Amino acid sequence: MILPFLALSMAAIPFPSHGTSLRLPVLADDVIRPCKVSDAGPPAKSSNPKTKKIKGISAEPSPGVCVEVRTGILEVQEILQAKVRDFRWNIHDEILNDNSWLFLRDLDVNELMGMTKEDKRPQDVEWKSGSVTLRVTTTDVGEGFTRTIILAQFRGVGETKDKLKVQHDWWPLESNGSLEESLMEAIRKHFGPASQ
């Protein structure tokens, strides 16, 4: 009884013409799946001993966003780098290695205010500009899946309105997650919706 079922299911599969390979469709749920940043454990140390640290970054990163896709590390990195080029961001202090990408992006005051939590910002500061350090980490987690984690650290530049208070060069600000999600959306669109 299994043979007729097998014959019917095989007949439904379109076979490729000579010289091409057979690629069966994969359900979206088998291609992309959500994960938690906490699943990754502590951040991996760079394999490059010459990796430099970007000056002035001491704020905690955002909670971050995480997704696992059934593809290789290189393809995920290429998708995200293409998205950054599409956004036409001016990035600098870029550090790229086999499993991570770290870069700094300058922000105008409107971008800074739109990407950080209002209730976590000092209210007595007249904001001028800011910057964000983005860290994209890609890790092979087995079964053909690559885990991608995007973390952001924001710094705001401004002056306190009360001139008697201590002035700082910059203030660490908390991400509202919108920047990280805008990058992660490129992966979700490329591979299909994540199963929830």
CA distance 53 to 38: 23
CA distance 104 to 135: 9
DSSP assignment letter at 116: B
Q: Which of 135, 125, 104 is nearest to 171 (CA)?
A: 125
The pTM assigned to this predicted structure is: 0.72
Query: Where do the domains of the chain lie?
Result: 27-44+58-191
Helix (H) or strand (E) segment spanning residue 11: helix 2-11
Query: What is the fold of 27-44+58-191?
Result: TATA-Binding Protein (3.30.310)
CA distance 123 to 160: 9
Backbone angles phi, psi at 61, to 5 degrees: -70, 165
Q: What percent of the chain stands above pLDDT 70? A: 71
Q: Is the pLDDT of residue 90 over 70?
A: yes
Helices and strands: H and E segment counts in the chain: 5, 7
Q: Is the pLDDT of residue 10 over 80?
A: no
Please report which residue ranges of 41-130 form alpha helices under DSSP H. Answer: 73-87, 109-115
Q: Is the pLDDT of residue 59 over 90?
A: no
- State pLDDT tens for residues 99-120: 999 999 999 999 999 999 999 9
Q: Which of 63, 59, 96, 56 is nearest to 80 (CA)?
A: 96
